[in-house]
Chains A and B, each alone.
Chain A
Amino acid sequence: MPDQLLYAMEVTLNGLMAGVMYALVALGFVLIYKASGIFNYAQGVLALFAALTLVGIQQGQVPFAHLINAVTGGHLTHFGWTVPSVLAIILTAAVMVVLAIVIEKLVLKHLVNQAPIILFMATIGMAYFLEGFGDVMWGADIKKLDVGLPQGISDTVEGLTDRIFGYGFFVDNLDIVATVVAILLVTALTLFSQYSKQGRALRAVADDHQAALSVGISLRFIWILVWSIAGFVALVAGIMWGSKSGVQFSLSLIALKALPVLMLGGFTSIPGAIVGGLIIGVGEKLFEFLAGPLIGGATENWFAYVLALIFLVFRPQGLFGEKIIERV
């Protein structure tokens, strides 16, 4: 088999894996948009905040240590204990639920019946607040995130492909884990929304707020629920991305990778987020491989948007988005 074809196959495989990572971020946006019609600008920051909290709990960091030290003149940094990864993840998930309750009580509750643009602007405010709050709470230094996930080349895949093709493909173990986690997450979310009472209530709210309210579904509870789930999805995305780069402010910028996925897959479809992520991942990686060397490289950031726009020409609501029909 020609080398270029083998390389293209390797790039495609890695594109699919990268797509899963994008989809993990896009999922959080979809969940909130589907349930409340809000484009949550703060989703990337939620991932950052969740990852910061996870590392802070895991390492026994004293929250607001800088602030406390500045006021008291002390030198507090850590409690002196560490927390096992699983327990730290559970505690962080609990913090994200508390955050969802606080967001509902302090922000969303006061904006019921406001135009979507008002809610969108409120999430912009939340994003900036949470950025600063996360910094003050846990510090702005770069933190190593280690919850025991494997990283580095998969020797199994490399060995297998070497035997078959005579060239060992590179696949990152972390990407394999991310794929498994994404499959589990989507399955769990689908089962939850199809078969649980709360899940059906969530779908009812997504279909029609007024009708859902008229049959006694609590909009406030649904908002807390959906922001909690989005917080958990943000935690998963934060763990996967933070394992690569360390936990730092830039983690909030992963939202940029989700936007073309949402445009392509549609804002209201969980399968759309996954399929959109895969198409964007493969598309941008293959384009970089084939055209990058001819036009100077670094094509991925803009090509993802070009690809999404091409799809939008044919399906303005995205591949899996609900068709908008408005009667005059």
Chain B
Amino acid sequence: MKTTFAALVAASITLAAPAMADLSVPNLSYRTGPYAANGIPYADGFNDYFTLLNERDGGIGGEKVQVPECETAYNTEKGVECYEATKGQAALAYNPLSTGITYQLIPKVTADHHVLYTPGYGRTSAANGKVFEWVFNYPANYWDGASVAIKYLLSQNGDDLKGKKIALVYHNSAYGKEPIRTLEELSKKHGFELNTIPVDHPGQEQKSQWLQIRRDKPDYVIMYGWGVMNQVAIQEAVNIKFPMENFIGIWWSGSENDVGPAGEGANGYKSISFHGVGNNYPVYADLQKYVFDAGKSAGSADELGTVLYSRGMYAAMIISEAIREAQGMAGHSAVTPEEVRDGFEHLNLTEARLTELGLPGFAQPIAATCADHGGPGSAIMLQWDAMAKTWGPVSDWITADKDVIDPLIAEDSAAFAAESGTAERCN
């Protein structure tokens, strides 16, 4: 009996843990629960990119990458449990796709020395590497997104928003409240009137909010939503005949999932994105050949090129490039989490390198430093074509107003440093 039990334990450990020589990048994903429809394509894009590297290149620097997956259901407690369960496998980086989980993991990864990579989400002030040694959120954060939206609107209004009314419809959570301070500062700077309208989780009933918008008649609506809140908001906007071209979502409110249920009514809706969309990038041909045709994909082929699949793939690409950088710096391929942190901090992702990766023009170059964990803060504006069922860019890359954002980041990270007793580094 004891022998059988020991054999079972040994077998389960073997199954659960990657081979000792492999690199381990856990995927804290959510394929169940209220946000599964968004979590699935993101997780598939993340997994498939590492599968591509393993199948086409034999891994990174000759080391295969294992991606042990753990289901969080977008639940913070489960997310922390997943972290605890996987960190012992020499995990190199975490990307939990949840601001709530990110906030809980920041002190843990700082103590345990693991990288937390949160592109476009998480704690915005983690962009300050002087305080947040183990957290990286390049290429853009929530505050960059708010600033990009306003800069885009400035460009549409002859650089003058004085007297304009802008409403922020936001998920009534830590995530949704993130842009308020930034928009308040931008409102002072550019003279527009800001009205903030919260929507409680999950956001299936938004009649009051959209009646208010109908009464107030704002010129533009910016949305920071997630999950069902997005679909209902877009449908309600259609119902009150709000002009879709004046309705802008942050990148978490701009996937095919969000506009699909409203059908043709959603035509013209806009969304900010920090990466390109569509499957016209050469990397997709490789994904098709080495992953999908080989039957090794995590999801179905119709996900290729969709917004959230592309974003999961982008996160995996950044992590793999940081690992590659770490391998170069360390002079060996089996890098440690500490070495990967150095790789993240010295990442120099140029346009030439993006082209080599089969992603020309897909994202903005990144030149990280000890102090800069936030990246360029640039994004493009996309617009939904409901007839063609595609997103297309309607702007060039727009860089956030760093004069406004940087002081806010410095202020918030200083508060965190004082509260947690963190000493500033990079001096």
With an 8 A cutoff between CB atoms, is B261 at the interface?
yes
B155-163, B201-209, B344-352 - interface stretch: B201-209
What chain A residues lie within 8 Å of B365 (beta carbons)? none
B46-54, B81-89, B232-240, B322-330 - interface stretch: B232-240
What chain B residues lie within 8 Å of A254 (beta carbons)? 204
Q: Interface centre among A241, A245, A253, A257, by most B CB within 10 Å?
A: A245
- Per-residue A-contact encoding for B186-218, CB less than 8 Å = 1, 0 else: 000000000011111010110111011011000
What chain B residues lie within 8 Å of A145 (beta carbons)? 261
* Contact yes or no, A141 B295, CB < 8 A: no
With an 8 A cutoff between CB atoms, is A249 at the interface?
yes
* Contact yes or no, A140 B240, CB < 8 A: no
Contacts A244-B204, A298-B172 given; does A144 touch B260 at CB 8 Å: yes
B28-36, B94-102, B144-152 - interface stretch: B28-36
* Contact yes or no, A7 B241, CB < 8 A: no
B-facing residues in A106-144 (Cβ within 8 Å): 131-132, 135, 140-144
With an 8 A cutoff between CB atoms, is B17 at the interface?
no
With an 8 A cutoff between CB atoms, is A216 at the interface?
no
With an 8 A cutoff between CB atoms, is B137 at the interface?
no
* Contact yes or no, B37 A141, CB < 8 A: yes
Contacts A7-B215, A151-B239, A297-B197 given; does A245 touch B32 at CB 8 Å: no
How far, in whole Å, are A202 and B212 apart by their CA atoms in the complex? 45
With an 8 A cutoff between CB atoms, is A31 at the interface?
no
| Of the residues B31, B198, B235, contact of A298 by C-beta under 8 Å | B198
How far, in whole Å, are A67 and B329 apart by their CA atoms in the complex? 44
Q: How large is the interface on A (under 10, 10 to 19, 20 to 34, 35 or more residues)?
A: 35 or more
CB proximity of B200 to chain A, nearest CB, Å: 4
* Contact yes or no, B34 A170, CB < 8 A: no
| Of the residues A244, A253, A292, contact of B235 by C-beta under 8 Å | A244
Q: How large is the interface on B (under 10, 10 to 19, 20 to 34, 35 or more residues)?
A: 35 or more
Contacts A142-B257, A152-B241 given; does A300 touch B37 at CB 8 Å: no
* Contact yes or no, A153 B228, CB < 8 A: no
* Contact yes or no, B202 A250, CB < 8 A: yes
CB proximity of B67 to chain A, nearest CB, Å: 18
- Per-residue B-contact encoding for A208-231, CB less than 8 Å = 1, 0 else: 000000000000000000000000
* Contact yes or no, A285 B208, CB < 8 A: yes
| Of the residues A66, A253, A298, contact of B34 by C-beta under 8 Å | A253
* Contact yes or no, B239 A152, CB < 8 A: yes
Whose C-beta in chain B lies nearest to the C-beta of A175?
A: B207
Contacts A142-B231, A170-B211, A172-B239 given; does A18 touch B205 at CB 8 Å: yes
* Contact yes or no, B211 A135, CB < 8 A: no
What chain B residues lie within 8 Å of A246 (beta carbons)? 228, 231, 257, 260-261
How far, in whole Å, are A143 and B227 apart by their CA atoms in the complex? 13
A-B contact pairs, 10 of them (CB 8 A): A18-B205, A77-B300, A135-B32, A141-B40, A246-B228, A246-B231, A246-B257, A250-B228, A257-B204, A300-B200
Closest 10 pairs between A and B when the two form their complex, measured CB to CB: A246-B261, A250-B228, A298-B198, A288-B208, A301-B200, A298-B172, A140-B36, A298-B200, A142-B37, A250-B34
